[in-house]
Structure 1
Amino acid sequence: MCVGEGILPAGPLSRAVAGTVKFTTTLRPPEKPFLSVSWRFNGVNIISSTSVNITDPGYAGRISLDRATGSLELRNMALEDSGEYTMTITPDGGLPKQGRTNLTVYGGVVKLRGKANESSTNLTCEASGSISSREWIKDGQPLNPSGGVSFSLDNKTASIQPVHISDRGTYQCKVSNPVSTMTATHNLTVIGPYNVLINGPSAAPQGHSITLQCTTDSVPPAHFSWMFNDNETHVNNSLYIIERLGAENTGNYTCTAKNTVTMMESSTVLDLRGKKPKNELIQ
């Protein structure tokens, strides 16, 4: 088997997902047609042509063979089409010749998502396909590590800690490869707290277990604190649980939500009362 030098482009060839590539040979159409032409992808036959063409079912409708020159066109490419392509051609009355080249298919999807807690925010840039570089942008300007902004080693995650009111804005992650550039956007808002509510009964029979839940609209999530009849309770989460309701537990429950970035606070009050047992009501 002779390896034909310069029969195919040296490669690697770079193309985008869903695009078309033509592996063009340097061969001229001979006086007598080639006895056979075959193409293989990563060692697996995709088309063989003698008196008839035999095409692998996975390539039906996606490839076209120029029998005169041995050139092959591949359409509607996917990331999985990246790899080595080998052509073997046998002239009438000559030795077989072989050429090979490589193809890299670029493309994919990019997503930018954010996750916030009371004091920090992480923005994660997720991209599929072959990625050469990631670039971070805020409000149209490059986002660089400084102050509370830092990046992971692979530049996939941007962390902001602590979050300040000035950190709100439009963040973008731009990913690139040799044939395309994709951008994803995330709007970071720093607001609230607004709409503070206490979910729970305003009256319940004594002896029952009661759960009060405080909710609010806040970015980042608010910090909660509770007071009972204007006294500190040292409960600092969204739930206030009364294991057994008694007369000493009835009164005004105040939930205060605080945004540790905006430093805004908002409160609401629930007046919890006890109910008399049913037998007392009948009397």
Structure 2
Amino acid sequence: MDLFASRSLLLLLSLLGRCSAADILPEGPVSAILGKNVTLKTLLTNPTYDYIIWNFSDGTDQTAVVTLRPGSVKVSETYEGRVSADPKNGFLTLTGLRSTDSGDYSMSIISPDITKTAEIRLQVLEPVSDVTIKSDLPEAIEFNSTVVLTCSAKGSFLKFSWLNGTAPIVADGKRLTLKDAELSSTLTITGVLRSDLVGPIYCKAANQLEMETSAAFNLTVYYGPDDVAITPANPPAVIKAGSNFSLSCSARSDPPATFSWYHNQTAMEVEGPVLTLEKIQKLGFGEKAGEYTCRAKNAKTERVVPSAAAKFSVMDPIKGVKMTAPTAVLIAGNSSANLSCQAAAGNVEATTWLKDGRQLTASERVVFAADMSSVKINPLQKEDNGEYVCELSNPVNKAQDSYKMVVNYGPEQAVVTGEGAIEFDDRVTLTCSAASVPPANFTWKFNGTLTNVKTATYSIEKAVYKNSGTYMCQAHNAITGKMTTSTHNLSVKEEGALDGLSDGAIAGIVIGVLIALALAIGLIIYCRQKVP
């Protein structure tokens, strides 16, 4: 068919119009990638036809592509080497697609009975590539910066989407806005937050056939300082001088914050996150209660945020407690005692006096000084013997000293214990006791004559009759000069005398029994005489 005939046929088909031909071509459009192949399929199956003609229109000119007749396929010169058609079903295949292949493809099937023409659109898409994200800022400041991210890509009919990690970024029309163009998309974040770009951020560009994702994008958002706090937040009201105490300051900040310290809102010559007690004392602070704060500064955001205050004072611990006590000999009833307590260093806020582990209380004899620094006991009694402790305290420590008080007394009334009667040849042990400090010295007299026994115990291994008599114990205190005595009578009996009854006692019992028996017999006889 020559060129004139072809054009005439095309004109004829145009004049005939495009009949309703939903049964010969599917609905379009058909999309394909530049440089790839595409097949425009029909809805025909072994059709009967004289001609099947494919034409192309770019909206301006119409060009013949291929003409099929039973047994022959005629490709237009323009498409030679790139187009093939299947006579069985009219499928049209284009290879090595070009951007100029985009347009409307019409197919006409001509038979003796009817002519049908239909059209389908082909979109040749440029491959999606070069998806990249760029920021208008190299770094951002939280709350202050407005960040504009631009995603650009190559390709056709592109649609863009944004992801923060795996979560889609959705515009809210206020802080986050999105604006799409043909080959780019712009994400604008007003008053950027640290969480907006933790991502990383991704941009996806896609068309009907392809999708490409950008490389991960990260943008540093400087923030803080936040949550500026001192540890410990609530230190003791009073800190022990010289102890290993310190305050630490922390804050959430990027870049990390720098710290400075203040005492009652006055800057201290201390930098860094730690303020030691040693430095506080070196600078002359702490003697009075004061407030300590730290201030955190971010060099990028230029924000300075103070912490809450920690309030305390510094106190010296009590050292070198010394109790002053009597050194002379103390005698109950005659002596008195003054005890005083002092510390070589430290602030004493309370004084407690103890005796034998229990608190010493005031009485007529026990009188404390108004400041409790001393106590006077007058007169001393034996009950005052014991260990005395003075305990000095303040809020940071306690310290004490002790004194062992010895009050000499006695001896009190001596007492002798032992047997009052023993049998001949038995052992005798008499014991003398008398309360006394220091312990009493003992001497013994027998029937008024001083013996050689000078211990608390008087012993006789085997008693004889001449050991019967009166024994006197004398208890003497060498310090008080007092002496008390106690007597004890001892009787030495013959052997067996202390084992049972005496002969006289036995005779008395026998006589009593005989009398009782005689009375009983007489009573019986009397009763019988009365009875008829």
| Bigger helix fraction | 2
Q: TM-score by structure 2 length?
A: 0.29
Which structure is richer in relative contact order (CA contacts within 8 A, separation 6 or more)?
1
| Bigger strand fraction | 1
Q: TM-score by structure 1 length?
A: 0.49
